[in-house]
């Protein structure tokens, strides 16, 4: 019995470690159920309002479209109801989905539990979603950032094809596909590459010409590709109303 325990215990610990490792690279929202709307609001506000800045600790799609309702209908959503920016952003940060009104030719889909690029299952769902939407709308962009886990991602699909995909978390690069876009080149960031043979040397990680991605980089790339959602207050936009609901994920 003693020898059985000596074998079983380490194996059990290893299995739990693998499970936790997989979970840690899913977004926080995918591990939690949406908070009931009645606990967030006395009523859902549908009064048109100005765009509300968002982006930190959030994932979102930027869909190139002048028709927000068409974007809404292209998504598989449950419990859909109108909501303004203020209400919609609060709901999105509590694990619901917010489809925004049009902003300069873009419609944003906010949800902390959008598919990611950190696991095989999520990556497959991610590719299927963005391929389908970009086939319909021409271009779809994906952004995700969460400073706690240091997870930062961006991707661009055009007419059903992945043009660029980058995903980084906890000092590890999970995806780096496609050529850098002109916007990324203009920003000039050169990142550490944990897969490089040079990474075996401590001196590599002390280089001052390299850095790690962070949340500000995600915002800046969004600004180069479409709109930096954290900069809405810098301009005047038409007031509008979007929709909140729950994006149906395939698992």
Q: pLDDT (tens digit, 9 = 90+) per residue, 154-207?
A: 999 999 999 999 999 988 899 999 999 999 999 999 998 888 888 888 898 889
pLDDT at 5: 47
Range list of β-strands (E), the chain: 58-64, 77-84, 97-99, 106-110, 139-146, 151-158, 161-169, 172-177, 241-247
Lowest-confidence region among 35-39, 50-54, 150-154, 173-177: 35-39
pLDDT at 36: 83
Does any domain span residue 29? no
Answering whether pTM is above 0.75, one says yes
pLDDT at 33: 66
Beta partners for residue 107, in sequence order: 63
For 61-86, what is each residue's pLDDT tens digit? 999 999 999 999 999 999 999 999 99
Does any domain span residue 233? yes
Split into its structural domains, the chain has a count of 1
Which whole-number Å values give the CA distances from 150 to 82, 105, 115, 185, 204, in the listed order? 33, 30, 17, 22, 20
Question: How many whole angstroms separate alpha carbon 85 and alpha carbon 49?
Answer: 6
Question: How many whole angstroms separate alpha carbon 9 and alpha carbon 11?
Answer: 5
Does any domain span residue 169? yes
Does any domain span residue 39? no
Question: How many whole angstroms separate alpha carbon 6 and alpha carbon 2?
Answer: 6
Does any domain span residue 102? yes
Does any domain span residue 33? no
Question: How many whole angstroms separate alpha carbon 133 and alpha carbon 63?
Answer: 8
Model confidence at 121: pLDDT above 80: no
| C-alpha torsion sign, points 146, 183, 103, 234 | positive
Question: How many whole angstroms separate alpha carbon 98 and alpha carbon 87?
Answer: 9
Does any domain span residue 17? no
Does any domain span residue 19? no
- In which domain, by residue range, is 150 found? 49-247
């Amino acid at each position: 019995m003693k020898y059985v325990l000596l074998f079983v215990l380490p194996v059990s610990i290893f299995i739990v470690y693998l499970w936790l490792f997989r979970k840690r690279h899913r977004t926080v929202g995918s591990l939690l159920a949406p908070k009931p709307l009645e606990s967030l609001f006395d009523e859902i506000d549908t009064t048109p309002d100005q765009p509300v800045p968002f982006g930190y600790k959030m994932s979102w799609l930027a869909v190139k479209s002048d028709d927000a309702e068409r974007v809404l209908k292209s998504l598989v959503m449950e419990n859909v109801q109108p909501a303004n920016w203020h209400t919609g952003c609060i709901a999105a940060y509590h694990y619901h989905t917010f489809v925004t009104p049009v902003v300069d030719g873009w419609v944003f889909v906010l949800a902390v539990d959008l598919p990611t690029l950190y696991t095989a299952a999520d990556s497959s769902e991610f590719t299927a979603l963005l391929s389908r939407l970009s086939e319909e709308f021409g271009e779809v962009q994906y952004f995700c950032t969460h400073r706690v886990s240091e997870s930062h991602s961006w991707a661009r699909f055009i007419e059903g094809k992945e043009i660029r995909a980058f995903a980084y978390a906890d000092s590890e690069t999970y995806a780096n596909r496609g050529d850098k876009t002109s916007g990324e080149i203009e920003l000039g960031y050169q990142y550490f590459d944990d897969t490089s043979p040079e990474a075996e040397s401590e001196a590599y990680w002390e280089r001052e010409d390299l850095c790690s991605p962070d949340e500000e980089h995600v915002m800046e790339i969004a600004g180069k590709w479409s709109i930096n959602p954290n900069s809405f207050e810098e301009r005047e936009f038409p007031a509008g109303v979007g929709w909140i609901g729950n994006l149906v994920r395939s698992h």
